[in-house]
Amino acid sequence: MEGEEMFREFLVQSLSAHTTGDFTSLLEAGRLDVVYQCILTSIFKSRSHRHDVVFHAILNGPPRPPMHLSISGDELRDARVDERSWENILRNVLNGRSHEGVNLTKSSLQGVIKEKSTEGYSIFLLDMEGEPFDPGDLSENNFFVLGDHIGIPRKDSKFVLRYGKRVSLGKEEYLAATTIDIVNYLIDRRPD
Ligand SMILES: C[S@@+](CC[C@H](N)C(=O)[O-])C[C@H]1O[C@@H](n2cnc3c(N)ncnc32)[C@H](O)[C@@H]1O
């Protein structure tokens, strides 16, 4: 697909991230720091942010899992890149307050995948064992699913593969945030 507008969305299945804002640090909130790192590489560039990206995380930690966090690059306002700023944004949203561009709803990985499939998205599971990722395979709306620092449970990957295909960035295992960075980079350098 060349010369046309193309949207990308990333979803991280976080097995432990807490679903309340009652925490002292992102690290101690069931590794919400991993979610923060993925927000950073999904949406932010050096001097601007990506308007054509939506980031999602499914938070499966206590006390009210699963919750679906989504951040729209187009709608996001008042957000810097430092960890302290995002600790405050995530704490506020998880405590029921609002932040422009950030949404929190009750939904699971399965619910979001079904919704995106119905909306016509091409769905890709990022997995070392997949076929080599080729940005030339992308369509207008693309949805990438990743595991967190623990990885994606087999039952979840099997579910995602009912709707999409498995793609790999090679035999090195990267951090989830690095994986997103590489996908963004490969898509950015497609010819116009
Ligand atoms: C830190 S890794 C997960 C590590 C975990 N120990 C495991 O076995 O899955 C986080 C996620 O990044 C993605 N990932 C990492 N390396 C990748 C690669 N080479 N190709 C595609 N996806 C990759 C996968 O979605 C993975 O679940």
Q: Where are the domains of the chain?
A: 7-188
- List Cβ<8 Å contacts ≥24 apart for 88-97: 90/21, 90/26, 90/29, 90/32, 90/35, 90/36, 91/21, 91/23, 92/21, 93/21, 93/69, 94/18, 94/19, 94/20, 94/21, 94/67, 95/20, 95/21, 95/22
Strand partners, 103: 70
Q: What is the largest CA-CA distance in the chain?
A: 46
pLDDT at 5: 72
Ligand 1 neighbourhood includes 41 CB (under 6 angstroms): no
Average pLDDT, the chain: 96
Would you say the CB of residue 135 lies under 6 angstroms from ligand 1? no
161 lines ligand 1 (CB under 6 A): no
Residues 108-134: tens digit of each pLDDT? 999 999 999 999 999 999 999 999 999
d(CA 101, CA 42): 14
Q: Among 41, 58, 126, which residue has the most ligand 1 atoms within 8 Å of its CB, making it the best to mutate?
A: 126
- CA 152 to ligand 1 centroid distance, Å: 8
pLDDT at 4: 62
Which residues, given as ranges, of the chain have pLDDT below 50? none
Encode pLDDT of 131-154 as tens digits: 999 999 899 999 999 999 999 999
CATH class of 7-188: alpha beta
Q: Is 182 in the pocket of ligand 1 (CB under 6 A)?
A: no
Short-list 107, 35, 115, CA closest to 71: 35
Residues 6+ away with beta carbon under 8 Å from 97: none
